[in-house]
Amino acid sequence: MTTPLVTGVGMTRFGRHRGESVASLALAAARDALSDASLEAHDVDVVVFANATWGAMGGQHGIRGQLALTGLGLRPIPIINVENACCSATTAMQVATAYVQSGMATTALAVGSEVMTQAPLEELLAAFEGSWNVDDRDQTIERLTVWGKDTVIPTDAEELANRTVFMDIYAAFARDHMARYGSTREQLAAVSAKNHIHSVHNPRAQYQKPFTVDEVLAGRAVVWPLTIPMCSPVSDGAAAAVISSNARDPKRAVRILAQRIGHGGNWDGVDVTQHVSPRTAELAYSDAGVAPSDIDVAEVHDATAVGEIQQVEHMGLVPYGEGGLAAMRGETALGGRIPVNPSGGLESRGHPIGATGLAQIFELVTQLRGEAGARQVEGATLALAENSGGLVGVEEAAVAVTILESPER
């Protein structure tokens, strides 16, 4: 079977885009990716479009990709719409890759686009509510409340009134990690500070302001133990990737060694090795024929700082219980043993839900081409992306793991 290639990537800056739409941002990222691949719209055989909130916040529940990409100049080819919570964009890429691997397409385009900053607050909060079981809401809250029950919450801990339900979910994850391993708020802050420092060198990041650990800890409280700098912002933005069976410039074509998606809901919350993330990663490593120790750079789903701590452990990049310690020791920073989230991650690059997974691919392709400038991971040849979303039971509803290899030199 021919190894599929990422031949082009594109991305808008993430942030608040007043006057822009899902369509205008999608078109910008798609054109960027096609130009990067030295292709035109008429060269594309299939498009897979990702978006998670346009229905909840704009009422556009169907034909999203057909509407968003009307101005691209495509032939009358298939446009497939996917929605998979925060995992939507990577899901789009995997479907696009499957088209190329099967021989049904020579060139496929995956696009993710989201506008989240322009809707009323109640619509934004409702959009997040749709990514867990709305019929099991009270029971889910009860399960999360007892998580990390042995972690003492300060009696004077403050909470942000208008926050998404997923901040409470991640706070529960953080308290559970503290109870299991003795991790600390300082470790959470070390992860966050690292990612904010990384984003200073990323011109497409929503935030480009460095933070110290003390500044992160002093940030406004969201829900204990999280502060605002530890959490991903609400964002607008788009990203895209061209997947091909051949490349016009092989020296810039990144090889896709593995792509896996797993669904959660079966974990009992006890044995962490049975969580959906490590089980999905194990399959991806096997497909790629590599080990965690072979990975040179990673982008993981840090919707909050504890997300990075959990996922670097689940991916086998650091031992369980040491995700935060690794950040404090500098292991996951640029210049460290295994740089994680050189883009700034969701915490600082931003998190327009339906575009995030492809933004990770944009970063890793840029790294593997050696084109990342001041945030370049020297000598990077193997990269891993972990993108996850939603909640079923006490684990993510969907987890995607992608392993990429640098172009042939």
The reply to whether 255 falls in a domain is no
Domain extent for 89: 5-119+235-244
Rg (CA), the chain: 20
Residues forming the active site: 86, 351
Tokens standing for 258? 């593995």
Query: Domain total for the chain?
Result: 1
Positions in the chain whose pLDDT score sits under 70: 1, 409
Q: Is 93 exposed, middle or buried (0-12, 13-18, 19+ CB in 10 A)?
A: buried
Contact 226, 170 (CB under 8 A): yes
Whether 380 is in a domain gets the answer no
**Predicted local distance difference test score (pLDDT) of residue 117:** 95
Within-domain flag for 61: yes
- For the chain, what's the residue count? 409
pLDDT of 1? 66
Cα–Cα distance for residue pair 214/185, rounded to 1 Å: 11
d(CA 191, CA 206): 17
pTM of the predicted model, to two decimals?
Answer: 0.96
In 3D space, the residue among 283, 252, 280 whose CA is nearest the CA of residue 266 turns out to be: 280
Identify the pLDDT of residue 194: 98
306 is a domain residue: no
Amino acid letter for position 258: A
Query: Beta partners for 331?
Result: none
pLDDT of residue 149: 73
**Does residue 239 lie in a domain region?**
yes
C-alpha closest to that of 185 among 384, 77, 327: 327
- Has residue 321 been placed in a domain? no
User: Looking at residue 86, what DSSP letter applies?
Assistant: B
Q: Is residue 77 part of a domain?
A: yes
Q: Tell me the C-alpha distance between 357 and 23, whole Å.
A: 18
Is 105 within the bounds of a domain?
yes
Tell me how crowded residue 18 is: count the other CB atoms within 10 A of its CB. Answer: 8
Q: What is the CATH number of the domain that holds 105?
A: 3.40.47.10
Paired residues of 110 in beta bridges: 48, 241
Quick one: tokens of 25? 């941002």
Helix (DSSP H) and strand (DSSP E) numbers for the chain? 14, 11
**Is 152 in a helix, a strand, or coil?**
coil
Is residue 284 a contact partner of residue 382, using CB atoms and an 8 Å limit? no
Residue with tokens 């926050």: 163
